[in-house]
Amino acid sequence: MNILSASYLLAMTHDFPVLPHGAVAVEGSVIKDVGTKEELQERYPNAKPLHFENHVLMPGLVNAHCQLDLIGFYESILGNKDLFEPQHYVETLIASMHYRNKLDVQEAMDVAKTALSRLANTGTTTVGAMTCKEASLKLLADSKLRVMAYPEIVLGQGEKAQENFEIAMALAERYSEMQLSRMKTGVGPYAPYLLSRNTLRMLSLFCRNMKLPLQIHAAEAFAEMEFFFDSEGPMLKLFEHMGWQQPSPQHKTPIQYLADIGFLDAPVCIVGCLHLSEKDLPLMARHLTQVVYSPITNLVMGHGTLPLAKLRDAGIPIGLGSQLWNGKSGLSLWTEMREALRQGSDPLPSASELLRMATVGGARALGLEQECGTLEMGKQADIIAVKLPEACSEKNLSEQLIQHTEDTDISYASVAGDVLKHTGDTC
């Protein structure tokens, strides 16, 4: 048994949000006990101590959405630019679809390795990852991270759509049957406007029967709302470019469309949900829908503002995700949280609320709240130790962590007790 202790403990539970001189007792892969350093050393005198002075112990971060296959794409368009430089959404979407079609296995593996290393280095211990490459799924399964993997269905009509569908289904079924200890599998149809009504229905039925979760982008851009209501707006450029037939207007929101065809009957996590009608919120709440908020993506792509108050009032859980990458930064939830404190939602969240989104909120969005997201007895030992910023106190701990934490401030990270990172900053 090991006892990890630090100047503060952020368990992300309601009973003690900040515990001075906090500690966690870890036995094997599981958290055995939580309390003060003194209490746990008295209860377990033979345990090996590992103390992090001027640090905070907290749950490993949960990045609820990233797209492994597009790391190289974003590097190509943002590599020499500021991560926050605005991009045209529909044009970027079209370019990303062409990039996927040309992406070979070796490049997919290379960028996935880079992404997984980056995630671990920033204190992320759990990731919800979309990919359409089996090689990337193998890397995820072999990594030390905790993973919810979504074989992705990107685009196509006719034979191409059927091929994408069959590949994703086969991968989801194969990896779910492996019953891997740290990786679970769902299915990731990219967006409702890229797949037919029947395909979306079949996906939902498949996932209900297999008890697998779904993750999808929806209600992300206003152009999507225009498209579903009136079959008008910038999204038509995508259909013209791909040579697809223009669909008939649905006269409903993307959320209403997904509910009407039965897609929301399976467990669904939606990336987006910036553009919602008053009817959408009770539909989402009734179907126990989860939401992923990606602040920097929303800013760069001009998606709009997250209706945080409405989602909060409807009782809809929210996790954080990150997608963009420019070689120097990206895939860091600390960067996402800093941006979310400044802009992007109505109202702006508190620092403590953001930390909850980045931990237990993300775990709920991925259906992993029984395993990770908080530091509690019986949960998996997914733990990070973060250096305390200067002038940090118990009252301003959450805000100071968000404002000042960089990669180099993560001194320790573990998943199920296995160490991902340890810089030696212990005493």
Task: Write the pLDDT tens digit of every residue in 354-386.
Answer: 999 999 999 999 999 999 999 999 999 999 999
On whether both 237 and 381 belong to a single domain, the answer is no
Q: Using alpha carbons, select from 303, 312, 206 the residue that is nearest to residue 254.
A: 303
Quickly list H helices, 6-80. Answer: 37-43, 71-78
Whether 65 is covered by a domain: the verdict is: yes
pLDDT of residue 160: 67
Quote the CA–CA distance of 283 and 264 in Å, as a whole number: 9
Quote the CA–CA distance of 299 and 301 in Å, as a whole number: 6
Q: Which residues pair with 291 in a beta bridge?
A: 270, 318
Q: Is the pLDDT of residue 335 over 60?
A: yes
Whether 180 is covered by a domain: the verdict is: yes
On whether both 28 and 118 belong to a single domain, the answer is no
Q: Is the pLDDT of residue 211 over 90?
A: yes
pLDDT of residue 28: 96
On whether both 117 and 206 belong to a single domain, the answer is yes
38-57 tens-digit pLDDT: 999 999 999 999 999 999 99
On whether both 270 and 234 belong to a single domain, the answer is yes
Whether 197 is covered by a domain: the verdict is: yes
Quote the CA–CA distance of 164 and 204 in Å, as a whole number: 15
Q: Is the pLDDT of residue 228 over 60?
A: yes
For residues 6 and 52, the answer to whether their CB atoms sit within 8 Å is yes
On whether both 52 and 190 belong to a single domain, the answer is no
Q: Torsions phi, psi of 416, nearest 5?
A: 50, 35
On whether both 282 and 398 belong to a single domain, the answer is no
- Average predicted confidence (pLDDT) for the chain: 92
Mean pLDDT of 44-71: 95
On whether both 191 and 227 belong to a single domain, the answer is yes
Q: Give the domain CATH number at 288.
A: 3.20.20.140
pLDDT of residue 401: 97
pLDDT of residue 74: 87
On whether both 228 and 214 belong to a single domain, the answer is yes
Quickly list H helices, 343-426. Answer: 351-356, 362-365, 397-404
pTM for the model stands at 0.96
Q: Is the pLDDT of residue 329 over 90?
A: no
Cα angle 139, 142, 143; round to 5: 85
> pLDDT: is 316 or 195 the higher one?
316
On whether both 301 and 223 belong to a single domain, the answer is yes
93: tokens are 């979407």
pLDDT of residue 327: 63
Look up the domain containing 397 and give its range.
2-59+374-422
Quickly list H helices, 1-150. Answer: 37-43, 71-78, 89-102, 105-121, 134-142
Burial class (CB in 10 A: 0-12, 13-18, 19+), 205: middle
Whether 168 is covered by a domain: the verdict is: yes
Quote the CA–CA distance of 136 and 149 in Å, as a whole number: 10
Q: Quote the number of domains for the chain.
A: 2
Percent of all residues in the chain with a pLDDT value above 90, rounded to a whole number: 73
What's the farthest any 2 CA atoms get from each other in the chain?
71
**Alpha-carbon torsion, ordered 172, 239, 260, 205, to 10 deg:** -20
Q: Is the pLDDT of residue 76 over 80?
A: yes
pLDDT of residue 14: 83
On whether both 124 and 265 belong to a single domain, the answer is yes
